[in-house]
A and B are shown apart, each in its own frame.
Chain A
Amino acid sequence: MSAVEVTHITKTFGSLRAVDDASFSIEKGELFGLLGPNGAGKTTAIRCMLDIFKPDSGTVAILGGVMDEAKKALIGYMPEERGLYQDITLERCLNYLGSLKGLNQAQVKKNAGIYLERFDLLAYKGKKVKELSKGMQQKAQIIATLLHQPELLIVDEPFSGLDPINTQLVKDLLREQHQQGVTIILCSHQMNLVEELCERIVLIDHGRALLYGDLHEIRQRFSGHAVVVDTHDRLPALPGIEQVERFNSSYKLTLSPSLQPQEVLKALVQADVNLEGFRIATPSLDEIFIRVVREEAG
């Protein structure tokens, strides 16, 4: 069953087509990546999903139907830019946002306490939000998003402003939520993190969904007939190799269609090359992203 079903949505602002006939669906319980360069239309697509914006055409089904007030309590949304009251204490801010999601005082206190401790913010709960550092505010925003234990979590650039330790903390948290069955939409332009966490993705550029599907399949689709050889030795000339690219201590060998990777490995062993690594070359999400966006730009 789909947690979110986006069907041919288009949203324009004046002459700007922010989302252009985009379609994708997010299964219940999956950790889904929403990718795209800055200004691609990711945030507008999210706002359409959340019914903050009405699409000009197309439909959005969320948690089994159209968005309504009851469903808002099941959704946690963390916008790209921090959306917390700056002039009140962190505790009061969490209390207010939690109560708007239908939690009572005791529930807010309990849930906030757990997350504040986990994110090392318990000592700062009495401080005004504006007195917290950027990273702390980011963590506070994440807590506000998770307080009511949502079924659907939409996080827009959650790692922005976080140091490596806190980045790891948030990654662990997202994985944990995923394991608990929460559907997560991770919106980011940090490809390595999406690659690490997500199973399926949609890549949006200029409002259009350019790539959509299983991440492994996408990478397979974009991988050429090539292998990567890690070695400090000089490679001998091998038959059937169409192109050799060198990157420090590794080589990327593009094979002729008739040549199989096993044959290359066998030839290298026979040539007594000191191999440190040998693998099928699959492009990183970064590479796929750049390739697709460039192709799209013509």
Chain B
Amino acid sequence: MNKTWLVAKQEYQRHVFTRRFLFGLLSVPFFMLILIGLIFMIISMNNNTTPLGYIDQSGLLAHPQPAPPVTPPEKSVPLRAFADETAARQALQAGEIQGYYLIPMDYRSSRKLQAVYLKAIKPFPRQYFYNFLEVNMLAGVDASISKRIMAGDEIIARSLDGSRQMSSKNGWFGLFLPIIAALGFMIAMFTAGGYLMNAVVEEKENRTMEVLLTSISPNQFMSGKIIADILIGLTQILAWLVVIIIAIRLASSRFPFLQGIQVSPQLILLCLVILLPTFVMVSALMALIGATVSDAREGQQMTGLISLPVWIPYMLVALIIENPNSPLAMVLSLLPFTSSLTMLIRQGVTILPAWQIALSSIIVVVCAITATWLAGRAFRLGMLRYGKRLRWREIFQRKAGAA
């Protein structure tokens, strides 16, 4: 087997088959479970299945049509008609209903309602009642038109050449999926990068590197490490993806909106042409840090120099979403450290110009190649400097191979 692959295999196995890695891997499903639990809790907090009363003075509900079915079924609530307000009030005080609505005579023109309750009516029963009113307002209208009005509009924005489009029906998921994907990618990137940096520092500290270098070249060593780093990160991402897909499958029976989730081809394209080179760039920079510092603690401090700029788009997420084609968003899309996150955030809210995707990709690929070259150079110069840090100036000044 090629020695680069031997290094990659050893590095991969050394980090992936450990309790620490498995813990990191399982922590995501664990937090997802907590998140799902929270969602259920919020749903139950927003719901109250005690009947809801109404007094119709407008005649709108003389022959009531039932409200459209909702999912999950617990979000629906039994509706009870009262002849007058006295009866409704008595039922409320007896705890038979959670509240009641008084529909005045001029409701059709004013659309004003009175709600009477002891404790505020929860959002789901309230929405259910509004839907019930809407259905009955449209009672005389043709069924297909009524259904169409209830469904609302879908606005599809297309690029001029027709190659890309985005739909308003993507909703919050279309906006948040790229951000969540980027977040997962960044976590995996920095976790794996952290492993790589620590491994290089450790091999320097415990002199393993000295033994290795009598068997392999520095380039084989460094390439093997970076390949392993990427594979570790991808393993993490793949495992999380599997868990997320299973979770969505399981949850979609209760949350129908999850059934329509689609990953846009553009998101996949961005992952391949921008996120992947960013991963290589960060891995190489982590290796570079490992080769230049004298101990692991110093390395962790220096990691901040890389991680801070990467997170800048998250700090500016509101500005980017509000104006995704602003000069700020465009500049951040082209800078190698910020491009991944910015492009993914923008992808959810605008149509990205093809030239920006191409230019951003070229810049980050060039940076990844340069970082890998620098890491190799720093490694050759700093690999056996025990307890002494390699200065950045030396990386650029000294002749290659003059370690």
Interface residues of A (CB under 8 A from B): 47, 50, 52-54, 69, 72-73, 75, 77-79, 81-88, 96-97, 99-101, 144
Across the interface, do A83 and B211 meet the contact criterion of CB distance under 8 Å? yes
Across the interface, do B208 and A85 meet the contact criterion of CB distance under 8 Å? yes
Specify the main secondary structure of chain B where it touches its partner.
loop
8 A–B contacts from the bound complex (CB under 8 Å): A54-B403, A72-B216, A79-B210, A85-B14, A86-B206, A87-B14, A100-B3, A144-B211
Determine if B217 is an interface residue (Cβ-Cβ < 8 Å): yes
Q: How far in angstroms is the closest Cβ of chain A from B22?
A: 15
Across the interface, do B211 and A101 meet the contact criterion of CB distance under 8 Å? no
Q: How far in angstroms is the closest Cβ of chain A from B6?
A: 6
Given contacts A83-B210, A85-B208, 11 further A-B contacts (CB under 8 A): A50-B214, A52-B383, A52-B384, A53-B403, A72-B215, A75-B214, A83-B209, A84-B206, A88-B14, A96-B6, A96-B10
Distance in angstroms between the alpha carbons of A5 and B370 in the assembled complex: 37
Residues of A within 8 A of B62 (CB): none
Distance in angstroms between the alpha carbons of A88 and B207 in the assembled complex: 15
Q: How far in angstroms is the closest Cβ of chain B from A35?
A: 21
Determine if B143 is an interface residue (Cβ-Cβ < 8 Å): no
Across the interface, do B215 and A84 meet the contact criterion of CB distance under 8 Å? no
Residues of A within 8 A of B6 (CB): 96, 99-100
Determine if B401 is an interface residue (Cβ-Cβ < 8 Å): yes
Q: How far in angstroms is the closest Cβ of chain A from B224?
A: 10
Determine if B213 is an interface residue (Cβ-Cβ < 8 Å): yes
Determine if B145 is an interface residue (Cβ-Cβ < 8 Å): no
Distance in angstroms between the alpha carbons of A79 and B211 in the assembled complex: 7
Q: Which residue of B lies closest to A145 (CB)?
A: B211
Residues of A within 8 A of B207 (CB): 79, 81-83
Interface residues of B (CB under 8 A from A): 1, 3, 6-7, 10, 14, 206-217, 383-384, 401-403
Across the interface, do B10 and A83 meet the contact criterion of CB distance under 8 Å? no
Q: How far in angstroms is the closest Cβ of chain B from A66?
A: 13
Distance in angstroms between the alpha carbons of A100 and B217 in the assembled complex: 11
Distance in angstroms between the alpha carbons of A215 and B217 in the assembled complex: 36
Across the interface, do B384 and A83 meet the contact criterion of CB distance under 8 Å? no
Distance in angstroms between the alpha carbons of A158 and B328 in the assembled complex: 62
Residues of A within 8 A of B384 (CB): 47, 52-53
Across the interface, do A100 and B213 meet the contact criterion of CB distance under 8 Å? no
Give the 6 A-B CB pairs with smallest separation, nearest first: A83-B207, A100-B215, A83-B211, A77-B214, A83-B208, A81-B207
Residues of B within 8 A of A50 (CB): 213-214
Residues of B within 8 A of A97 (CB): 211, 215
Distance in angstroms between the alpha carbons of A140 and B254 in the assembled complex: 59
Distance in angstroms between the alpha carbons of A78 and B208 in the assembled complex: 10
Distance in angstroms between the alpha carbons of A270 and B212 in the assembled complex: 66
Residues of B within 8 A of A88 (CB): 14
Partner of A82, one of B206, B214, B402: B206
Distance in angstroms between the alpha carbons of A96 and B210 in the assembled complex: 15
Q: How far in angstroms is the closest Cβ of chain B from A152?
A: 10
Q: Which residue of B lies closest to A79 (CB)?
A: B210
Partner of A100, one of B216, B383, B401: B216
Q: Which residue of B lies closest to A141 (CB)?
A: B211
Distance in angstroms between the alpha carbons of A73 and B384 in the assembled complex: 21
The winner among B3, B213, B214, B216 for most chain A CB atoms within 10 A is B214
Distance in angstroms between the alpha carbons of A54 and B209 in the assembled complex: 17
Distance in angstroms between the alpha carbons of A195 and B46 in the assembled complex: 87
Residues of B within 8 A of A100 (CB): 3, 6-7, 212, 215-216
Q: How far in angstroms is the closest Cβ of chain A from B385?
A: 9
Residues of B within 8 A of A77 (CB): 210-211, 214
Residues of B within 8 A of A52 (CB): 210, 213-214, 383-384, 403
Q: Which residue of B lies closest to A86 (CB)?
A: B206
Residues of B within 8 A of A72 (CB): 214-216
Q: Which residue of B lies closest to A96 (CB)?
A: B10
Q: How far in angstroms is the closest Cβ of chain B from A12?
A: 11
Distance in angstroms between the alpha carbons of A144 and B216 in the assembled complex: 15
Residues of A within 8 A of B210 (CB): 47, 52, 77, 79, 83
Q: Which residue of A lies closest to B214 (CB)?
A: A77
Q: How far in angstroms is the closest Cβ of chain B from A56?
A: 8
Q: Which residue of B lies closest to A144 (CB)?
A: B211
Distance in angstroms between the alpha carbons of A226 and B6 in the assembled complex: 61
Residues of A within 8 A of B1 (CB): 99
Residues of A within 8 A of B383 (CB): 52
Q: How far in angstroms is the closest Cβ of chain B from A197?
A: 22
Q: How far in angstroms is the closest Cβ of chain B from A126?
A: 15
The winner among A77, A100, A144 for most chain B CB atoms within 10 A is A100
Distance in angstroms between the alpha carbons of A101 and B216 in the assembled complex: 8
Q: How far in angstroms is the closest Cβ of chain B from A17?
A: 16
Q: How far in angstroms is the closest Cβ of chain B from A177?
A: 17
Distance in angstroms between the alpha carbons of A213 and B206 in the assembled complex: 34
The winner among A72, A75, A83 for most chain B CB atoms within 10 A is A83
Across the interface, do B217 and A69 meet the contact criterion of CB distance under 8 Å? yes
Q: How far in angstroms is the closest Cβ of chain B from A58?
A: 14
Q: Which residue of A lies closest to B209 (CB)?
A: A83
Q: Which residue of B lies closest to A104 (CB)?
A: B1
Q: Which residue of B lies closest to A88 (CB)?
A: B14
Distance in angstroms between the alpha carbons of A144 and B210 in the assembled complex: 13
Q: How far in angstroms is the closest Cβ of chain B from A114?
A: 20
Distance in angstroms between the alpha carbons of A97 and B3 in the assembled complex: 11
Q: Which residue of B lies closest to A50 (CB)?
A: B214
Distance in angstroms between the alpha carbons of A88 and B212 in the assembled complex: 16
Q: How far in angstroms is the closest Cβ of chain A from B178?
A: 37
Q: Which residue of A lies closest to B15 (CB)?
A: A87
Q: How far in angstroms is the closest Cβ of chain B from A39?
A: 13
Q: Which residue of A lies closest to B7 (CB)?
A: A100
Residues of B within 8 A of A79 (CB): 207, 210-211
Q: Which residue of A lies closest to B199 (CB)?
A: A85
Residues of B within 8 A of A53 (CB): 384, 403
Q: Which residue of B lies closest to A67 (CB)?
A: B214
Q: How far in angstroms is the closest Cβ of chain A from B340?
A: 32
Residues of A within 8 A of B10 (CB): 96
Residues of A within 8 A of B206 (CB): 81-86
Q: Which residue of B lies closest to A81 (CB)?
A: B207
Q: How far in angstroms is the closest Cβ of chain A from B204?
A: 10
